[in-house]
Amino acid sequence: MDDDQLLRYSRHILLPEIEIDGQQKLLDAHVLIIGAGGLGSPVALYLAASGVGQLTLCDDDSVDLTNLQRQIVHFTDSIGERKVESARRTLARINPQTVVVAIAERVAGERLEQLVQTADVVVDCTDNFATRHAINRACVRFARPLVSGAGVRFDGQVAVFDLRRADSPCYHCLFPESGDLEEMRCAVMGVFAPLVGIIGSVQAAETLKLLTGVGRDLTGRLLLLDALTMEWRNVRLKKDPHCVVCSTGTTAQSESAAVCARP
């Protein structure tokens, strides 16, 4: 680290849990963020500001006026621009030392697997269950930690699946693709603006903890937030011994789940 970096990251370095070694781990890290909307905004902002060395940002969408109420990495003059390009521009202003790879695609299949393999941590900030399950399958396959968040209306949830650990549940253990529940029409539902800021900030914190090995991460727990009462519930999660994704290595294909995922 040069003198500028020692100053820039001094408030991390002052933390005995992080110090120079922990900050160096962040500088050497590569995080894959899938989704550059309401959750992806605070995740990308905090990870870039914290000095994570490389962020790969995937989103096939463009910025529109309805996004700006909560997707704080984008600005009014970004309307019509690809979200990943708009985000890259903002992040470069915050921290030009973070390399941001912008992928304007809805990543799936082999492409998704390649990206997951190159990442130290994967952050799921997407808004549909098919993609969430695809990300989970890739993280299980390549044993990558997955930080998952969701929020709609005043309800948020966040969980970590540290799939490097044999005892960690996966997203599918929690939300099996059973086929008997309909995905809500999230695209037309309301979202309380700071809700995704709160959940995304928790995702960023958990990502930094996973990268530095600091503290105890959320693996094996699901946090549920009701922003109307500002009450959090902490639900214990167990690995499902019959999970078709993490217990046998095979994959399931149906697409449904109980909780809306709209960021």
Q: Residues interacting with Zn ion, by CB under 5 A?
A: 170, 172-173, 243, 245-246
Measured CA distances, 183 to 32, 36, 84, 177, 180 (Å):
25, 21, 26, 11, 10
Q: Quote the least distance from Cβ 174 to Zn ion, whole Å.
A: 8
> 248 is written with which tokens?
């046998």
Half-sphere exposure of 171 (CA within 13 A, CB side): 35
Q: Quote the least distance from Cβ 66 to Zn ion, whole Å.
A: 35
Residue 8 or 137: which CB sits closer to Zn ion? 137
Residue 84 or 245: which CB sits closer to Zn ion? 245
Q: Quote the least distance from Cβ 161 to Zn ion, whole Å.
A: 8
Backbone angles phi, psi at 44, to 5 degrees: -65, -40
Coil vs helix vs strand at 234? strand
Residue 93 CB partners (closer than 8 Å, separation 6+) = none
Catalytic residue among 139, 170, 173, 186: 186
Q: Percentages helix, strand, coil for the chain, rounded to the nearest 5? A: 35, 20, 45
Residue 140 or 211: which CB sits closer to Zn ion? 140
> 18 is written with which tokens?
């992080």
Q: Quote the least distance from Cβ 114 to Zn ion, whole Å.
A: 22
Residue type, 75: F
Residue 46 or 175: which CB sits closer to Zn ion? 175
> 49 is written with which tokens?
């500001």
Q: Catalytic site residue 186?
A: yes
Q: Quote the least distance from Cβ 239 to Zn ion, whole Å.
A: 6
Bridge pairing between strands 221-226 and 155-162 = antiparallel
Residue 22 or 145: which CB sits closer to Zn ion? 145
Listed residue (34, 10, 33, 31) closest to 22, CA to CA = 10
Among all residues, which ones are annotated catalytic? 186
